[in-house]
A and B are shown apart, each in its own frame.
Chain A
């Protein structure tokens, strides 16, 4: 395929840039160079969008040259590409890259070089996560993002940054290390069953492997646990407010915009198709947790006095919708979850950006310190209102599309109890409107309360460059979601087919897992070049 190494370039350009940047002479050159590199990565990723064959979105495209990793005796390869699920997330990552550099332009004044080097390493990790089609490679990128994030929070963060940084890393580590055990176990099981006894983490081979029912439950739990911490799903969310609030603005935007999506992406990419029966068994449980997250996140947001904390808890609520959509297992709801991931990245990212801009002006995030600033900063207020409405799900803006699809899809899913959950989740939309509008009214409207607020400068050119593309995307996604939905539709359809097919097979077969396992192995041995039908692209 043409442009076969384009994706590798998109992933590793920031890392190469980070190495070159070590030799940059001044802070000024560091900033411009980082902007150049992230913008170049964004431009490089554009051909992915234009060259992507939306009709065949269920299949791997832009696949790179692949080669062995770790050991020739293991089937672990550098296998990367994009399909309908990953394309939008890759683009979101590269799109946010320059924006994050720009928003740190004046915010980061100490150790500028280190900050940008870490930011670029982080971007390589995040892009890689969405492109890896080898589970172990995915894991490597997944963990790679922790190292820069630890330093970004720990060095450039707020007052309680150390606590937040260590908590963030330890939480994620618990989940991901257990997932590693599950990956290895799955790799050997699949290797023995369908890969001539060779350990494999190839995504497509694992996809074609029917995990025995007895094994599915606990493998599912280990995978889902890691992703649940990352998303985060209630009750594993406690690291999130700390990390978000303590991180510098750029770090918060990365966290909200991309890092949390790694969890929901993992659920869609691995949990559902690898362990369909176990996923189906646990839909209600996870649905309940998601709805608790939606309502609880919204209620806690309402109770905050710190604007950044409010936005942080709203993430818990919004991602609850995504998780609900994923586990409702209908085409609409999964499509909604995909688009909601993008929406959340843009609108919550924008909220963090604006809160960061206010903080740079007034050095406080307490809502009580603001009031009536619409009069002094009308342009900033315009963008804030737009973003808040988008986040609250106003029709015509992006948030509405995702939430609507999720709720409609979940309501019609036919899973017992899901209708009740959907109705409860809908209250989350109302609560979102309440806490966001309440924030707007307290901070932006009403009488101007203090002189410091009266003399606040409005958005400058650099901040406009940040906010205008974000605002345009919110409107574009709200008015014309079709091109974006079309990208993930075939992938979502294929996912549901795989789940359905695997569950049917599992029901027909003797549920005694060991017997099924042996049977499969025998079948595979008799029909050499073994790849069971249906799941291979």
Chain B
């Protein structure tokens, strides 16, 4: 390769992977700054601004056709940019929500912002991967930052327990994941998604490939919190600081699902299978996930824990689309991830604002919030939008998200799965509406006395996040633009060839 042309290639590569590099760089700056001046008020602003810059960059690139950079290790433009937008949006909202939260619990952890940036950078890498190694590096960068974030409130034993649990189980699942990659590599001789089919057809070790795929999927199922690998989810979400639980529930799931979609769409899905049926396996996992997630959420008294179980159910809805495995289904899944991120970051954000007295959401029962809707109408109304959207009522985004995952499944002949999915989501109607019942209908006299006495401030920036999420959910579904954008990613075909 000529040096002059190599320089051009490097420039293109850097532009393609700019978000990852940029976020890591700012993360390092933030952490150094924090060492020299603890609790600098500028830190969250810098972190937030850097995410907005990256977001703007990805918005600018989202119309580009998909291509790959860095020796085809990561994807850029198209679906990769779209996934990045989802991740960066929820990362930005989490940063904004963390500021009043930390003020509320009277801590000054500047490193939270650096860790969010590192995690985001890992998620961006994971969500745009085109190679098994990239997947692994992204996944670990994200996970390690998240382990620390879970236990960031060092004096809180509950949070530490969550962090340790998350770390041990996470490390265990990474083992499965790595074995899977190794076996797939052993069978096909490639780490690239797009070369799997060729490698497989030339392979003499085909069963090895399927064992590898199974282990690989187990690793993913753990990360997205699908049943039966969901055990960590409620404990971790309940123990983690609330805005960061929202961050985990949305951004990390989006990244993991995006990587899974890319692997299935470019790799495993293109392999001509003989006997082994990964789609059936995914349908069964989706079925169990939807049913178990919704049933377990029914009995929860703590809002955070309920949201954790419900996020399991939502992972199940996405899996329904993945099980269908058509272009429209993948597009629906990506679309669902966006809607889901908006709903859940809003819901976790609203709950985090209700922890005004420094009382952890972990300890807060639903009933202690009785009548809060009338006291804080902004939180009450936006929570109404989030809950109805999560239940899937039109004309809110959640309905259109569900439509986008169920419709391709029905088209692909998985009507039975769609029927189970909608019936299970009837249960979700009960537990989501129960939140609204407590917020708006339960007499305030039954609430925690501290809710009655204290009039707590709601920070303006956090209200802004809630309002933005609610407005987006109100308009996003009916307008054709976004849905068509996601569909275009999977109809324009596989991106340009490898070098």
- Decide whether A and B assemble into one complex: yes
What residues of chain A have their CB less than 8 Å away from a CB belonging to chain B?
68-73, 111, 139-140, 143-144, 146-147, 150-151, 154-155, 161-162, 165-166, 169-170, 173-174, 177-178, 180-181, 184-185, 187-188, 199
A185 near B480 (CB under 8 angstroms)? no
A169 near B388 (CB under 8 angstroms)? no
Specify which chain A residues have a CB less than 8 angstroms from the CB of B388 in the assembled complex. Answer: 147
Specify which chain B residues have a CB less than 8 angstroms from the CB of A69 in the assembled complex. Answer: 478, 480
B28 in the interface (beta carbon within 8 A): no
A71 near B399 (CB under 8 angstroms)? no
B440 near A155 (CB under 8 angstroms)? yes
User: Given contacts A166-B430, A166-B433, is CB(A146)–CB(B441) below 8 Å?
Assistant: no
**For the complex, what is the distance from the CA of A150 to the CA of B391, rounded to whole Å?**
13
B425 in the interface (beta carbon within 8 A): yes
CB distance from B412 to the nearest CB of A (A): 10
B480 near A177 (CB under 8 angstroms)? no
Specify which chain A residues have a CB less than 8 angstroms from the CB of B392 in the assembled complex. Answer: 177
24 examples of A-B residue contacts, CB within 8 angstroms: A68-B480, A69-B480, A70-B400, A139-B394, A140-B395, A147-B388, A151-B436, A151-B440, A155-B441, A165-B441, A170-B426, A173-B426, A174-B423, A174-B426, A177-B423, A177-B425, A177-B426, A180-B422, A181-B410, A184-B403, A185-B415, A187-B407, A188-B407, A188-B410
Among B407, B433, B440, point to the contact of A184 (Cβ < 8 A): B407
CB distance from B395 to the nearest CB of A (A): 5
B433 near A169 (CB under 8 angstroms)? yes
**For the complex, what is the distance from the CA of A187 to the CA of B328, rounded to whole Å?**
15
Among A71, A169, A170, point to the contact of B483 (Cβ < 8 A): A71
**For the complex, what is the distance from the CA of A162 to the CA of B483, rounded to whole Å?**
36
Specify which chain A residues have a CB less than 8 angstroms from the CB of B434 in the assembled complex. Answer: 166
Among A111, A147, A181, point to the contact of B415 (Cβ < 8 A): A181
The 5 A-B pairs with the shortest beta carbon distances in the complex, nearest first, are A177-B422, A140-B394, A71-B483, A154-B441, A184-B410
B411 near A71 (CB under 8 angstroms)? no
Known pairs A71-B484, A111-B374 / 5 extra A-B pairs, C-beta < 8 Å = A68-B480, A70-B478, A151-B440, A166-B434, A177-B422
- Interface 1/0s, chain B 398-416, versus A by CB < 8 A? 0110010011001100010
A184 near B441 (CB under 8 angstroms)? no
Residue of B nearest to A171 (CB): B426
Residue of A nearest to B483 (CB): A71
Specify which chain A residues have a CB less than 8 angstroms from the CB of B399 in the assembled complex. Answer: 140, 143
**For the complex, what is the distance from the CA of A416 to the CA of B374, rounded to whole Å?**
58
Specify which chain B residues have a CB less than 8 angstroms from the CB of A147 in the assembled complex. Answer: 388, 393
B27 in the interface (beta carbon within 8 A): no
CB distance from B162 to the nearest CB of A (A): 32
B480 near A70 (CB under 8 angstroms)? yes
What residues of chain B have their CB less than 8 Å away from a CB belonging to chain A?
374, 388, 391-395, 399-400, 403, 406-407, 410-411, 415, 418-419, 422-423, 425-426, 429-430, 433-434, 436-437, 440-442, 477-478, 480, 483-484, 487
A143 near B437 (CB under 8 angstroms)? no
Specify which chain A residues have a CB less than 8 angstroms from the CB of B394 in the assembled complex. Answer: 139-140, 143-144
Residue of A nearest to B419 (CB): A181
A199 near B407 (CB under 8 angstroms)? yes
**For the complex, what is the distance from the CA of A184 to the CA of B320, rounded to whole Å?**
15
B395 near A144 (CB under 8 angstroms)? yes
**For the complex, what is the distance from the CA of A73 to the CA of B425, rounded to whole Å?**
27
User: Considering residues B399, B430, B440, B441, which has the most beta carbons from chain A within 10 angstroms of its beta carbon?
Assistant: B441
Among A73, A170, A180, A199, point to the contact of B429 (Cβ < 8 A): A170
**For the complex, what is the distance from the CA of A170 to the CA of B426, rounded to whole Å?**
7
**For the complex, what is the distance from the CA of A71 to the CA of B440, rounded to whole Å?**
35
CB distance from A319 to the nearest CB of B (A): 24
Residue of B nearest to A179 (CB): B422
Specify which chain B residues have a CB less than 8 angstroms from the CB of A73 in the assembled complex. Answer: 484, 487
**For the complex, what is the distance from the CA of A71 to the CA of B491, rounded to whole Å?**
14
**For the complex, what is the distance from the CA of A161 to the CA of B429, rounded to whole Å?**
17
Among B411, B415, B419, B429, point to the contact of A169 (Cβ < 8 A): B429
Residue of B nearest to A218 (CB): B415
**For the complex, what is the distance from the CA of A68 to the CA of B423, rounded to whole Å?**
29
Residue of B nearest to A187 (CB): B407
Residue of B nearest to A185 (CB): B410
**For the complex, what is the distance from the CA of A169 to the CA of B387, rounded to whole Å?**
14
**For the complex, what is the distance from the CA of A475 to the CA of B426, rounded to whole Å?**
44
Specify which chain B residues have a CB less than 8 angstroms from the CB of A144 in the assembled complex. Answer: 393-395
Residue of A nearest to B402 (CB): A180
Among A154, A155, A165, A188, point to the contact of B411 (Cβ < 8 A): A188
Among A68, A70, A72, A166, point to the contact of B437 (Cβ < 8 A): A166
CB distance from A286 to the nearest CB of B (A): 22
**For the complex, what is the distance from the CA of A140 to the CA of B477, rounded to whole Å?**
11
Residue of B nearest to A136 (CB): B403
**For the complex, what is the distance from the CA of A162 to the CA of B440, rounded to whole Å?**
11
A162 near B423 (CB under 8 angstroms)? no
B406 near A184 (CB under 8 angstroms)? yes
Among B393, B403, B422, B426, point to the contact of A70 (Cβ < 8 A): B403
Specify which chain A residues have a CB less than 8 angstroms from the CB of B478 in the assembled complex. Answer: 69-70
A70 near B477 (CB under 8 angstroms)? yes
Residue of A nearest to B486 (CB): A71
Among A68, A170, A178, A188, point to the contact of B419 (Cβ < 8 A): A178
**For the complex, what is the distance from the CA of A110 to the CA of B430, rounded to whole Å?**
26
Among B418, B433, B437, B480, point to the contact of A181 (Cβ < 8 A): B418
Specify which chain B residues have a CB less than 8 angstroms from the CB of A150 in the assembled complex. Answer: 433, 436
CB distance from B249 to the nearest CB of A (A): 24
Specify which chain A residues have a CB less than 8 angstroms from the CB of B403 in the assembled complex. Answer: 70, 180, 184
CB distance from B182 to the nearest CB of A (A): 40
Residue of A nearest to B388 (CB): A147
B441 near A161 (CB under 8 angstroms)? yes
**For the complex, what is the distance from the CA of A188 to the CA of B436, rounded to whole Å?**
36
Specify which chain A residues have a CB less than 8 angstroms from the CB of B480 in the assembled complex. Answer: 68-72
Residue of B nearest to A68 (CB): B480
CB distance from A352 to the nearest CB of B (A): 22
**For the complex, what is the distance from the CA of A162 to the CA of B442, rounded to whole Å?**
8
**For the complex, what is the distance from the CA of A187 to the CA of B407, rounded to whole Å?**
9
User: Considering residues A69, A70, A161, which has the most beta carbons from chain B within 10 angstroms of its beta carbon?
Assistant: A70
Specify which chain B residues have a CB less than 8 angstroms from the CB of A161 in the assembled complex. Answer: 441
Residue of B nearest to A157 (CB): B441
Among A72, A146, A170, point to the contact of B393 (Cβ < 8 A): A146
**For the complex, what is the distance from the CA of A529 to the CA of B395, rounded to whole Å?**
33
Specify which chain A residues have a CB less than 8 angstroms from the CB of B411 in the assembled complex. Answer: 184, 188, 199
Residue of B nearest to A192 (CB): B411
User: Considering residues A154, A173, A184, which has the most beta carbons from chain B within 10 angstroms of its beta carbon?
Assistant: A173
A71 near B487 (CB under 8 angstroms)? yes
Specify which chain B residues have a CB less than 8 angstroms from the CB of A170 in the assembled complex. Answer: 426, 429-430
B395 near A154 (CB under 8 angstroms)? no
**For the complex, what is the distance from the CA of A174 to the CA of B392, rounded to whole Å?**
12
Specify which chain A residues have a CB less than 8 angstroms from the CB of B418 in the assembled complex. Answer: 181, 184
**For the complex, what is the distance from the CA of A376 to the CA of B50, rounded to whole Å?**
75
CB distance from A107 to the nearest CB of B (A): 18
Specify which chain A residues have a CB less than 8 angstroms from the CB of B423 in the assembled complex. Answer: 174, 177-178
Specify which chain B residues have a CB less than 8 angstroms from the CB of A166 in the assembled complex. Answer: 430, 433-434, 437
Specify which chain B residues have a CB less than 8 angstroms from the CB of A68 in the assembled complex. Answer: 480
